[in-house]
Amino acid sequence: MNDRPAHTKLSPVASTKLSPVVQAPDSTRAQRRVALLTDVHGNLPAFIAVLADVDAQNVDAIWFLGDLVGYGAQPDECVKLAAERCDLCLAGNHDLGVLDRIDIGDFSPTAAKAALWTRENSTTETLDFLGSLSPSKIGGPIGLYHASPRDPIWEYVLSAMQAEACMDLMPDRVGAIGHSHVALRFTRSDGQVLSEQVRGGSVLDMSQGDWLVNPGSVGQPRDGDPRAAWMLVDVDSWTGEWRRVEYPIDDAAQAIVDAGLPRSLGERLYLGQ
Ligand code: ZN
């Protein structure tokens, strides 16, 4: 959680350009088997591996919860792939930091370095695409937020107490978040909130109660499992499956070194931290 900010800072431009919540397109209603992906962070090998697994699962839609860039060395490639493959994309705090819509002074020094590198090394098309995204969308079967329902840009939801406050604000029974890079689920039934890290391969019945789920990160997992993470949700049967995928970490780490980004950003990929 090294890039946790002390407080939220939105530039005037951001507050006019970013509406906190917008309606999802109607097409989301017809999509049944949904792949939830988040936090690619410029890690192209991880993104490719996850999309191959998504394709093998016969999904109707891919929804991305933010942070396509930042940390990793292949922002343009990841944004191009997301534009081609994802049916819906949110903006994350790193995407907005690269665009200078939020203050990267609130990032850790390493994250800030990576954001500046990304700003200087991305194409205009990449920056334009990121600039078209919002950090949350409601109106589909699942409320989608980069960070949390009460603060879609910055809040790291890691405790049952936070999750409960978020559930109280959610218009939908089920919400999905990214940002912490930890595969998690929060469930409220009979007034009790359960919080749990979820291992890859877990399949849970989400048909009852309130749920806030985090698929875990595609490109920079921080829950001790270095494999790329994503989640498959069937919004008819309300089953949720947390999946993990091996990918060539060497390639992502080497690209970080070759780009002149901090070496630690490659090393942490092997640890899943
Ligand atoms: Zn992230």
> Is pLDDT above 50 for 69?
yes
- Distance from the alpha carbon of residue 180 to the mean position of ligand 1, in angstroms: 7
For the stretch 88-142, pLDDT in tens is 999 999 999 999 999 999 999 999 999 999 999 999 999 999 999 999 999 999 9
In angstroms, rounded to a whole number, what is the distance separating the alpha carbons of residues 155 and 98? 18
- Distance from the alpha carbon of residue 245 to the mean position of ligand 1, in angstroms: 18
For the stretch 243-264, pLDDT in tens is 999 999 999 999 999 999 999 9
Q: How confident is the model at residue 31 (pLDDT cuts 50, 70, 90)?
A: confident
> 């499992």: which residue's tokens?
225
Domain that holds residue 33: 29-271
Return the closest-CA partner of residue 136 out of 18, 8, 4, 29: 18
- Distance from the alpha carbon of residue 191 to the mean position of ligand 1, in angstroms: 30
| Sign of CA pseudo-dihedral 215, 170, 67, 269 | negative
- Averaged pLDDT, 191-216: 97
What integer best gives the mean pLDDT of the chain? 91
Specify the pLDDT at position 56: 97
- Distance from the alpha carbon of residue 190 to the mean position of ligand 1, in angstroms: 32
Burial of 240 (0-12, 13-18, 19+ CB in 10 A): buried
User: Within a domain: residue 13?
Assistant: no
- Distance from the alpha carbon of residue 67 to the mean position of ligand 1, in angstroms: 5
- Distance from the alpha carbon of residue 181 to the mean position of ligand 1, in angstroms: 6
- Distance from the alpha carbon of residue 15 to the mean position of ligand 1, in angstroms: 21
User: Within a domain: residue 71?
Assistant: yes
> Is pLDDT above 90 for 209?
yes
- Distance from the alpha carbon of residue 32 to the mean position of ligand 1, in angstroms: 26
**How many structural domains are present in the chain?**
1
User: Within a domain: residue 142?
Assistant: yes
User: Within a domain: residue 9?
Assistant: no
> Is pLDDT above 60 for 73?
yes
- Distance from the alpha carbon of residue 40 to the mean position of ligand 1, in angstroms: 7
> Is pLDDT above 90 for 22?
no
Share of the chain above pLDDT 70, in %: 89
- Distance from the alpha carbon of residue 137 to the mean position of ligand 1, in angstroms: 17
User: Within a domain: residue 111?
Assistant: yes
Amino acid at 44: L
Structure-token pair, residue 212: 């806030």
Specify the pLDDT at position 210: 98
User: Within a domain: residue 22?
Assistant: no
- Averaged pLDDT, 234-240: 97
CB-CB neighbours of 258 under 10 Å: 10
CATH of the domain at 78: 3.60.21.10
- Distance from the alpha carbon of residue 116 to the mean position of ligand 1, in angstroms: 16
Q: How far, CA to CA in Å, does 185 sit from each of 81, 112, 216?
A: 28, 29, 10
